[in-house]
Chains A and B, each alone.
Chain A
Amino acid sequence: MHKWASDTFYASLAYVVASFLTFEVLMPLQNVFFPEYPSRASLLFLPHGVRVLAAWLLGWRSIYALLPGVFIVFAFLGGSDVFLPSRLMAIAIAVTTVPAVFYLLKWVGWDLFPRTDRKPCWSCIMGVGVITSFLVAGLTNLVFGSARVEYVAYLIGDISGLFFLMLGLYFAFRFADSRT
């Protein structure tokens, strides 16, 4: 029970922090540097990286682990609209797509989940991030009925978000190591 609670706490916290950085820091910068960019979507969407890494580490457990964080972010952005069917559907898509793809790949014989007796494949995780980005962007746009420019922006944001989140984690580990 304690393990489930700590998984949920850390995964949701990571999702909320990544979303805060995306919407309160990166998007204002994006608006300054690309004022002519028409879409309201972020070109560096860090929460996608959290979704991918949480699903890789936790498997199906990432669904409930991320759910509170995703709900908080949707509620923060949309207020009471979070209870609209389209928003609830988008929340479900956000938390289920990535673990579903990892398990689908495992089912077809390409098991990417972490194991102590082998090295993880970074580029494979990025590959899953790209596949799931297509799926999440496609499904979410289906639900919201957004324009094509939004779809492309979601893709760019998700893929760059995953890459820069991993790069950020890498330098965070190096920084932590240098201080111990």
Chain B
Amino acid sequence: MTEISKLTELRKLMQSMERTLGLEQLSPVERDIYYAAEELSKADQEVRTFGLIEHTLVQSVSRPTFFRALKSLVQKGYLSQSGSANRGRYIVHAPR
């Protein structure tokens, strides 16, 4: 495991604690999509909607819920639409 992925795993652990202690700012679906986007963004700077929908953590989420949560993540600043490419590509940002 690389240094970056160790930090990511620690952050995921802290986010799990955040949820248990009720400190979270995101809904469970938003959190799952954000986890998935973080994973996928390791391989590529941009994340495609198609890749996100196919991710293990998101597979059980219905399409309308998925797109609502995706929109909310963009509004909250966790994701932003890629300006240079087609629609359906996002850049992952650190939580604020």
Interface contact A177-B94, CB-CB below 8 Å = yes
Shortest B96–chain A CB gap in Å is 6
* Contact of A114 with B9 in the complex, beta carbons under 8 Å: yes
- Interface check A117, CB cutoff 8 A: yes
Cβ < 8 Å to A, chain B residues 7-38: 9-20, 23, 32, 35
The reply on A80 being an interface residue by CB < 8 A is no
| CB-defined contacts of B3 to chain A, threshold 8 Å | 6
- In whole Å, how far is A17's beta carbon from the nearest beta carbon of chain B? 16
A sample of 14 more A-B contacts (CB under 8 A), given A117-B57, A119-B35, A169-B10, is A116-B5, A116-B39, A119-B57, A120-B16, A122-B14, A122-B16, A122-B17, A166-B14, A169-B14, A170-B17, A173-B11, A174-B95, A177-B94, A177-B95
Complex formed: what's the CA distance from A169 to B15 in Å? Answer: 11
Q: Which residues of chain B come closer than 8 Å to A100, judged between CB atoms?
A: none
Q: 1/0 contact trace for A69-92 toward B, CB 8 Å?
A: 000000000000000000000000
**Most A Cβ at <10 Å: residue of B1, B11, B13:** B13
**Of A53, A56, A122, A180, the contact of B20 (CB 8 Å cutoff):** A122
With a CB–CB cut-off of 8 A, which chain B residues contact A180?
94
Say whether A173 contacts B96, CB under 8 Å: no
Least CB distance from A174 to B in Å reads 8
- Interface flag for A57 (CB, 8 Å): yes
Interface flag for A21 (CB, 8 Å): no
Interface contact B94-A125, CB-CB below 8 Å: no
A-side interface residues, number (CB < 8 Å): 23
26 A-B residue contacts at CB 8 Å?
A53-B10, A53-B13, A57-B1, A57-B6, A57-B9, A57-B10, A114-B9, A114-B12, A114-B13, A117-B57, A118-B56, A118-B57, A119-B12, A119-B15, A119-B57, A120-B9, A122-B14, A122-B16, A169-B10, A169-B14, A170-B14, A170-B18, A173-B10, A174-B95, A178-B96, A180-B94
Interface of A is mostly: helix
Question: Which residue, B11, B17, B18, B19, has most C-beta atoms of chain A within 10 A?
Answer: B17
CA distance A120 to B3 in the complex (A): 17
Q: Does A105 contact B (CB under 8 A)?
A: no
Q: In the bound complex, what is the Cα–Cα distance between A6 and B4 (angstroms)? A: 12
CA distance A165 to B45 in the complex (A): 32
Q: Choose among B9, B15, B23, B39 the residue with the greatest number of A CB atoms under 10 Å from its CB.
A: B9
Q: Does A121 belong to the interface (CB within 8 Å)?
A: yes
With A and B bound together, what is the CA distance between A174 and B18 in angstroms?
11
